[in-house]
Amino acid sequence: MISAIVIEDDPIFRDVLLDMLSKASIDTNLMATCATLRQAKEAIELHNPQLLLLDVELPDGRGMDLLNHYEEFGTFETIFITSYDKYAIDAIKKNAADYIIKPVKLNELNEALSKVKKRLEVYAALLKVDELRTYVDKLKMQRLQDNKIMINTNDGAIFVQVGDVIKLESESNYTILHLENGKKIIASKTLSVFEEMLETLNFSRVHRSFIINLTKIKNIQHEAGNYFAKMLDGSKVEIARRKKKEFFEKIAYHS
């Protein structure tokens, strides 16, 4: 059963949606209904739901504003339900599970809930150390990290084997590379440059300040509504909410 909050200011449509949820093929546990962003924030903090069924236009702002507020934290999935299709691209960028145009049909709602259920199942599976290790081992078998990359530092250029890097950390216009041997290298390039360089080599940018090596994850932890990657060097890196789907899919579906 998926715990959910409905955020919809139209009372008639809200009642229709609640009735439709009761008939859906996937069970939901309705935690709250909200008519404004303010009410929604209070309900999210109180209930920590797995799913928001979110209208785009609300009396005190847009649904996108709510997702922006929770951009770096919060674990909920989102299904947009709206009369407007002009925000669909923004919804995709926010990793929404689905985007449904009113009037909602039951088969569309079932399909959207099914997508959410599959995502939640992947997250739950990868919290188990044994299952995570299976995925990580498959990534290692691809042998994408045998090559070396050139790192420009203030002391000149050096070569580093990709597989020796545990994580990369943003530091203003520089990037700190954390290596397996405990050594740190300060590179004179931004994190975005390394993101483009390493995105096909089993690295993932999980936060605006961090890129991690997916093959160096020890376990994934779920604490106080947020996900963290515990790395082999003992450090913990928070997985931003906006990066969560991409991160989990890279492990589960690209291995």
Task: Choose among 197, 227, 203, 198: nearest CA to 216.
Answer: 203
The H or E element containing residue 59 is none
**pLDDT of amino acid 44:** 94
Q: What whole-number distance in Å separates Cα of residue 124 and Cα of residue 137?
A: 18
Is this model's pTM higher than 0.85 or not? no
CB-based contact 137:49 (threshold 8 Å): no
Residue bearing the bigger pLDDT, 32 or 222: 32
Distance from chain centroid for Cα 195: 16
Task: Choose among 124, 83, 97: nearest CA to 4.
Answer: 97
Q: Are residues 68 and 90 in the same domain?
A: yes
Q: Are residues 228 and 190 in the same domain?
A: yes
Is the pLDDT at 151 greater than 80? The verdict is yes
Q: Are residues 156 and 57 in the same domain?
A: no
pLDDT band of residue 225 (cuts 50, 70, 90) is: confident
**pLDDT of amino acid 233:** 94
Q: Are residues 181 and 140 in the same domain?
A: yes
Tens digits of per-residue pLDDT, 166-209? 999 999 899 999 999 899 999 999 999 999 999 899 999 999 99
Tens digits of per-residue pLDDT, 61-117? 988 899 888 876 667 899 999 887 776 667 766 778 898 998 999 999 999 999 999
Tens digits of per-residue pLDDT, 32-74? 999 999 999 999 999 999 999 999 889 999 888 998 888 766 6
Residue 138 CA: distances (Å) to CA of 53, 125, 144, 169, 203: 35, 15, 11, 25, 14
Range of the domain at 73: 2-126
Q: Are residues 176 and 81 in the same domain?
A: no
Is the pLDDT at 253 greater than 70? The verdict is no
**pLDDT of amino acid 5:** 98
Q: Are residues 198 and 104 in the same domain?
A: no
